[in-house]
Each structure stands twice: as C-alpha cells, then as structure tokens.
Structure 1
C-alpha cells in the first residue's frame, strides 16, 4: 500500500510551506488524517516496548552519569536520523522508506530495505508474543488464590497466545490505516506511565541493604543483608556487561519503520508538523525511560535483574501494584504488535505487488500470512529472542542509522561539507560500529552459554 505524493519542485526546504502529502488510493478510507496527538501516541508506541524493563540493568552496568550521557546521545541520533528521512521526503515527494531505498540504490536498495523491515518487524512481533506466552499465565495467576493450582486453560501460554492473536491482534492489524491505532496507542502510553509511577513509588517499599537468602555449610537457609557499600549508586561503571548498553539503548528508540506511514496519514502533513510529532514522542519516551531506569536502579542497585519486575516478585511477592503493573506492561506490549505489523505488511505488499491501488483482498491476505508466521514462531521456537538476535542487531542498526545516512548522501543535492551531510556520514559510521559490536556481543554470549 504505497502512498506516494507527486514531486513538487517548489517545496520549501524547511517544510513549513510544503503542501500536504497526497494519500493516493486511501482517500475513501477517511475524510481527514490522524490528529497530532494520535500520531504522537502511535510513534511512542512504536518506540517503547518491553525493552523498558531492562534499562535499569543497563544503568547498573554503565553507572548513572554514563547511562544518562549515552541515553541523550542515542535519542539525539535517532531524532536526527528521522530528521534526515523527513527532509528527503520533503525534497523528493517520496514518503515510503522502501521507495527512498529505491531512489538511492535503485531496485536492489528497495528490496534490501523491504527485507530489512520485514525481518526486523517479524522478529520484534515474534519476540513480543513470545514474552506474552511466557509471562501472561504468571500475571493471571498473580490475581488468583495461591491454592488455586491446576492446569486451567488460562494458565496455558499457547492457548492464551492463540486466543489473543485471533481476537485482539488480528482485528487491530486488519485496520486499513495506522492512524486508527491512535486510541490503542494512547492506552499503551497510559500503561507505560503507570509502570514508571509504580517504579518510583516502590523505591521506598524495598529497604537497602537488600535481604537475600544464602545457604550455610549445614545446608540451612538464612537471611543475609547485602553490605551498605552496595547501596551507594555508581556514577560510572565499566564491565563486560557495558558492551550490551549502547545496542540496547539504540534498539529502544527504533521506530523508523513506522515514521513515514504515520507521516502519510498525519492531518495537514508537513515536515515541520511531523518533526514536532517525532520530537514530542522521543522526548516523552526519553523521560519515561530515564525515570523508570533511575528509580529501578536506585531500588536494587547492583542486584537489579535484567528484567526489572523479577526483583519486585522476589521482595514484594503478590503485591497488588506489582501484579497490576506486570499485566499493564504485557498489555502495552500486546498493543504494540499491530502497530509493528503495519510497516511489515506494507513492505510485503510493496515488494510483491508494487504501487498498485489499495485492495482489501491483498490487505487481508498479507495480514493473515504475516500473523500466521509470527504466531508459529512464537509458539514453536524455544528461544525466539536468541534466534532473531543476530539478524536484529544488524537490521536494526541499518534501519536506525545506516540507511538514513546513506540515503541522504545519495539523494540530497547538498554539498558533502554541509552540516546534514557530515551528520549523515557520522550516522553511517556509528551505525556500522554499533552493528558490529551488537553482532559480536551476541555471538560471544552464545559461545559462553554453550
């Protein structure tokens, strides 16, 4: 479902005077575009996911100051790469990531971008559904009596996953326009906000030094407190775990496959207006990331788990706020899947059907095929996150940094010494370095674990 506007050579560089992008083939679906707030919620939903659970662990491996500097750097680079994409759209009239690849690198570039989007988004959707399969039964059990054990259907992750996919994910994914998901995205934002509030509140519910169980020489269990020194926050920290930090932070701001579809459906879509959408979305995501990571780290310090909620389960078992926030995060992850599905389906249709007008038959067929593959992977692959780890580390860095930089250098008429051209070169270099580091870290982890 390509949505390309005609090129207007009289477009103004900054986008303030740019004419609204045309919505060829989709005018019958809505009289007007998505509102500014709806677009912000959609982009935030594309940015934020289950990765927010691991940022406290990242802070523990880097230290507070180093983490904050890295978070500012990565979020700024992500915002800058979006700026380059929007600038190219404004200059060329192309508002499809795949078509920008075709303009820059001809047909191989269009195919390469489409495949990268498809792999990245299928991997992300499969990972999210895999998380739901593992965590949702435990979240439901948290609301039940401890004595209500058994093999009920609602405690079977596979059954729950099939029901959720059929009755929630599929209807939302069949919506023809990404703007329609603004309501569910706003609900997802509320869930993420609730998570940050709970992390802040529970900071004062868990004492430090932290009590933890140890086994004596006689085999008996006793409670031992961690030392007071462990309750001192570290400003800077360097260890082998720090190698995960930058890739994890970078993936936490990956939303570029959804930026241009959201741009196409924005009401009065100009570059300046969409730039405000991306700035607000990244700023709010940055704020929620920073608050949840900081207070999560200041709660558990060196004992923070790679998945933050695990620590609360240990020290505050069956706490009502912890139980509800676990369910809220899972619902937020669930509502992210249809949004990630939209660019994946768009890439499939572009690669297989080209720029044909919108067709419900093609739309439904592509939706069912993609969700079928994602559901099968989530159900039957034992560790979906490791399987897509290597592929995701390369495709994510390309979509986030490398492709926007290369496209700008190939398409833009600006001289190589201009500010944006130099910035594009730095994006490409940073993306390549990050991709190599991510790939190496994952391979080394596999070797050690085996």
Structure 2
C-alpha cells in the first residue's frame, strides 16, 4: 500500500480470481473475458446466499424486524469491507491467498485456526433438508447429481451451475412474495411482531453472517454482494411479514403441506441445495489439500477426498434435519471470525498507517463487534436453542384451530 492510502493497481500480468472462501488466489493469465467475471460473480452470489437464505426470516424474528433489516445491511457492508481489508493485507504482506496472509501474519497457529474455520463453514452448511421423503431423495440426488458435479477441478466451471441456482433462488423469492399477499391473511396476528429490537439480536447476526469471498480488483465484488443482500433482505422481509412470530428456522416449514405453490418452492430450494453443495465442497476440499498436500492433489486423491466429504456431509444430513440451530452455531463460530475477526486482525497487524487512520478505527470496531457476536451468540444459542418442528403441520393450516386461537388472543 502506498503511504497516501491509495491502492496500486494489480500487475497487468496477473489477475485475482475468485476462489470462493479460500480467497485471493492469484494466477497469471493472458486474457480474461467477461464470461469469467460473470462466472465469478455468480459463484460469489451463490456462496453468499446459499442454502441459508431460508433461515433469514427467522433472523428477523430473533432480532426484531426493523433492527433485523438494519443488521442485514450492516453485515453485508462489513462483508464487503472485509474483502477490501484482505486485499490490502495481501498487498502489505506480499501474499496471494487468505491462508498465506494469516500464516505470514500470525504464524502456524493462525494458519491452522483459519484452515479449521474455512473447512467447517462450508462443510457444516452442506447438509440440506429437501422435500418430503428426504432420506431417499438425499441419497438419490447425491449419487446422481451432487457427487459428479463436486468432482470438478476448476471452480470456473461451476459458474453456470451457480447461475442456475441464482435463477431458482429468484423463483423461490417470487413464490415467497406471492404468498405474502395471498397467505398472510390466514395467519393469526401475533403480539410484539413489529417491535424494533429483541434480545436475541446477536443470534440473528450469526444467521446473517456471510463468509468473505474475494474477486479481482474491480466492481464485480461490490455488485455481487449488493445483489445478494437485496435478495436476502426482500426474502427475509416477505417471509417474516407473512408469519411474524410463528416464523420457523426453515421458512418452508411454515407453509401448509397442501400448498402446491409452496411445494414447488421446496422443490426449487432442493435443487439450489444440490447446486450449492459442489461449490462448498470445492472450498472444503481445497482447504484440506492446502493443509495436508500443499495444495496439490493427485486425481486419485482428488476423487477419494471428494467422496469422503460428500459421504460424511450426506450422512449428517440424513440423521439431523433441524436447520435453525445449525445456522446459528455455524454463523457465530465459523462465519463471524472469518468475516469480522480474522481480516481485521491481520490488517491491524500489518497496517503502516497511523493509529487514527479510518481503516484502523473501523477495523477495531469490526473486531470488537465480531468478538461480542461470537461470544454472546454462542452462549445464547446454547442456553436458548431453537426447537425443531420439521415435518409438523402448522396450526393455522386447520381453520378450526385458527378460530380457536383467535378467540383466545387478548383484545
């Protein structure tokens, strides 16, 4: 970094490629087309939104709707800011990957901590709960679709897969918006649904946290993060406006089983999980390869490691299907240090600016917020875990129960 605070442009012979959460992978390239940038953008959006989007309405319930929306924008801003800090840290330390940056800044211990977090974050979010006969469908789709796609060596090839996932996510968003208008009148009104803030706001930040994803020195990162947060805010708002205090950790648990439009939405979500899985598997495999094989996996080991990752993640998804607490714990224990703590800690240690420089002050604030969210969020999640209601029909799907519930509400 130049002393004036202006970032030098990246070398002409090099371009920074998005390698998802593994970060800042720089490779020489003679030419890079718009299709490569578009693929990187689709991968970024797919990674940020991912399977966790169905838990965002629940985060509104945890935080309070007005505060929840503000927090969602805040987390998106911090995610975008942490990307810039990582790139600046890479320039200051002459490193080209997230792992190299942390290793040079905090040594082997920091490198191992980062690698563990990078492994756990995508690995935990890989298992998904899709459709009704989940055991058969998970096994079938994993063997036929997910595993073959997960074997891709080049993340750029996943760009088209991520585009399809993004399109399906928009379809799901439209379905949720339609049901906000057509179904919300059937859901009884609940008390304290629209208060500004609630005591579980810290847990909500954990659900919202986006792991930082890095791209070339251009506006593609800002555009991708902005589009992702717009989709997330609209989805969270519509989902919560429909069900308010009855919002479940998985928003599709709120819709009635005979709702054909919602069933189609579940199908689309199931496909997005299948298409997001390979991107997260890629990250998990890359972290494993970097730690144990110095980044080089032979074809045989590439296949073996991929099969093991997919098999373990699938086994977990078969025996555990409560999504809310998984999102909360993964957010506070993995995503929060990756997006709030580690990038700022590295930059503060490497920064050559005066202590009162804006980047240093903002980095200190983000670091403090990250430590608070991680500590308080973990304690609250353990003390007040979300109840699992997977497969249960909600009471308002039965008109007689709705009438009885309304009659018991205070005037």
Q: Same fold (TM over 0.5)?
A: yes
2:228 aligned residue: 285
1:353 aligned residue: 293
Alignment partner of 2:162 out of 185, 194, 211: 185
Contact 1:62 1:245 in 2 (8 A): yes
Contact 1:77 1:427 in 2 (8 A): yes
1:430 deviates by: 1.2
Change in Cα spacing, 1:319 to 1:42, as seen in structure 2 (3 Å) is: same
2:86 aligned residue: 85
1:340 deviates by: 0.9
Counterparts of 2:39 and 2:26 in 1: how far apart (Å)? 22
1:421 aligned residue: 360
Counterparts of 1:74 and 1:290 in 2: how far apart (Å)? 11
1:336 and 2:306 equivalent? no
1:146 aligned residue: none
Counterparts of 1:447 and 1:337 in 2: how far apart (Å)? 24
Change in Cα spacing, 1:163 to 1:26, as seen in structure 2 (3 Å) is: farther
Alignment partner of 2:260 out of 315, 320, 338: 320
Counterparts of 1:383 and 1:193 in 2: how far apart (Å)? 24
1:437 and 2:397 equivalent? no
Alignment partner of 2:136 out of 151, 155, 159: 159
Contact 2:102 2:111 in 1 (8 A): yes
> Helix, strand or coil for the counterpart of 2:117?
helix
Counterparts of 2:313 and 2:365 in 1: how far apart (Å)? 35
Alignment partner of 1:370 out of 285, 309, 320: 309
1:285 deviates by: 1.3
Contact 1:57 1:308 in 2 (8 A): yes
**1:374-393 alignment to 2 at 5 Å?**
374-380=313-319, 390=329, 393=332
1:204 aligned residue: 181
Counterparts of 1:446 and 1:199 in 2: how far apart (Å)? 26
Counterparts of 2:54 and 2:16 in 1: how far apart (Å)? 39
Return the index of the structure with the highest Cα Rg: 1
1:61 deviates by: 4.0
1:175 aligned residue: 152
Counterparts of 2:374 and 2:184 in 1: how far apart (Å)? 39
1:40 aligned residue: 41
Counterparts of 2:301 and 2:26 in 1: how far apart (Å)? 14
Alignment partner of 1:244 out of 186, 192, 203: 203
Contact 1:18 1:90 in 2 (8 A): no
Change in Cα spacing, 1:205 to 1:32, as seen in structure 2 (3 Å) is: same
> Helix, strand or coil for the counterpart of 1:35?
helix
> Helix, strand or coil for the counterpart of 1:106?
helix
1:141 aligned residue: none
> Helix, strand or coil for the counterpart of 1:234?
coil
1:72 aligned residue: 73
**1:44-55 alignment to 2 at 5 Å?**
44-55=45-56
> Could you tell which deviates more after superposition, 163-172 or 382-391?
382-391
Gaps of 5+ in 1: 1-7, 139-154, 212-225, 264-268
Change in Cα spacing, 1:21 to 1:448, as seen in structure 2 (3 Å) is: closer
1:38 deviates by: 1.2
TM (norm. structure 1) is: 0.75
State the Cα RMSD in Å: 3.3
2:117 aligned residue: 116
Counterparts of 1:96 and 1:247 in 2: how far apart (Å)? 25
TM (norm. structure 2) is: 0.81
1:400 aligned residue: 339
Contact 1:195 1:325 in 2 (8 A): yes
Cα deviation digits, residues 314-355 of structure 1 (max 9, x gap): xxx433321111111121122111111112111111111225
Contact 1:402 1:432 in 2 (8 A): yes
> Helix, strand or coil for the counterpart of 1:416?
coil
Change in Cα spacing, 1:332 to 1:441, as seen in structure 2 (3 Å) is: same
1:446 deviates by: 4.9
